[in-house]
A and B are shown apart, each in its own frame.
Chain A
């Protein structure tokens, strides 16, 4: 492969990837746009705290059909990973800090969640009805 055709390839790739970047940016802007709209939609807010590697409360009753915002406060000094297979999220929460989990509107049912770093004690569930 000659060097001129190589540099042509590189140029093509550059233009391809910059087009990709622009497209991603545009998509990003659209998403940020929908974000504003979504903020007006009513979120059901709840709070869970983690203390001594246990959830408080460890059983939550949540409404169906509404977006949910869970604020998880980790009161322990050690980090925890808040995770649920059924709800499809995992998020690390550093020690003495908090994190926000957003859930799509739920269907009625029971959903388990746990702290991955302390699976023997950090267990809880959500009942949506």
Chain B
């Protein structure tokens, strides 16, 4: 039961942390709740579909299908998160002011909601398909421990959701003034980490054959598989044995988003609302 609990908890936490950060980063955008909800629903449906076709996906491209598929959805999520960060950078000033003045949701600006929902859907789909397959296995196994395993899975799911909620409220407690810069940086690093993961997948599939050996190894200090290591891996893309290509992907992604966000930021000398 404990093994099932831990496995499901880990998967739910991975998706949940991403949702928590994205939710905090979009505070004040009207309609974000339903966008995230739709994203989660789409992700769960996607999980079931991916789980159903798991064998077919895996065998595509001479056994490279799984890696290519994961890399593709990760890169799509990177683009969505990038779009979201840049959009928020552009609107942070007016949103902060409106939030402060009205204490309610900003009605304008729902353009980034699609990006938000899509990023959430991908996070849920990636981790969820694993949970679905695991649970299918339990049910198919049909042993006397199945009920216990399912109970463990349910507790894992609830715990994962709870920890993600704590993270969200932690981020939401940041003063408004700092809020969007902190979450903007967080989402940027999150996206950079996903880009590095996509590179790892392509490397595993044998599609990247240059700069594919670890540059350093900090697993003695903080293993990527330990709890803190894993949380940092999800949040800021911590890698204990990054390859050269992963570091390049991380740097290029983070750099591009920072640069775009900086270029698109609303100029300080032009107040959006009169205070």
Residues of A bordering B, CB below 8 Å? 1, 9-10, 13, 16-17, 20, 24, 31-32, 34-35, 38, 67, 71, 77-81, 85, 88-89, 91-95, 97-102, 104, 116-117, 119-120
Contacts and interface: CB of A to CB of B under 8 A. Distances in A.
Interface centre among B63, B91, B111, B241 (most CB of A within 10 A): B63
A99 to B, nearest CB: 5
A95 B140 contact: yes
Given A34-B209, A78-B140, A104-B212, A92 B83 contact: no
B66 A99 contact: yes
Given A94-B58, A97-B58, 10 more contacts: A78-B140, A79-B137, A85-B225, A92-B54, A98-B59, A99-B58, A101-B204, A102-B204, A104-B212, A120-B3
A67 B206 contact: yes
A13 B208 contact: no
B182 interface: no
A105 to B, nearest CB: 9
Contacts of B264: 9
A81 B130 contact: yes
> What DSSP secondary structure best describes chain A's contact surface?
mixed
B204 A94 contact: no
Contact of B58 (A24, A67, A92): A92
B85 interface: no
B98 to A, nearest CB: 13
Interface of B: 3, 7, 54-55, 58-59, 62-64, 66, 75, 79, 83, 86, 90-91, 94, 111, 129-130, 133-134, 136-138, 140-141, 200, 202-209, 212-213, 223-225, 241, 260, 264, 266, 272
Contacts of A119: 3
B152 to A, nearest CB: 13
B203 to A, nearest CB: 8
18 contacts: A10-B111, A17-B79, A24-B75, A31-B208, A35-B207, A67-B206, A71-B63, A77-B140, A79-B133, A88-B200, A92-B54, A98-B59, A99-B66, A102-B64, A102-B206, A104-B213, A117-B7, A117-B134
Contacts of A13: 83, 86
A88 B196 CA distance: 13
Which of B75, B205, B208 has the largest count of A CB atoms less than 10 A from its CB? B205
B137 A91 contact: no
Contact of B63 (A9, A10, A34, A99): A99
Nearest to A24: B75
A70 to B, nearest CB: 10
3 nearest A-B residue pairs (beta carbon): A100-B63, A78-B137, A94-B55
Contacts of A1: 90-91, 94, 266, 272
Contacts of B59: 97-99
B79 A9 contact: no
B186 to A, nearest CB: 22
A11 B139 CA distance: 50
A31 B66 contact: no
Contacts of A16: 260
Contacts of A78: 136-138, 140-141
A20 B79 contact: yes
Given A9-B264, A35-B207, A116 B137 contact: no
Contacts of A101: 204
B181 to A, nearest CB: 19
A35 B206 CA distance: 8
A88 B208 CA distance: 15
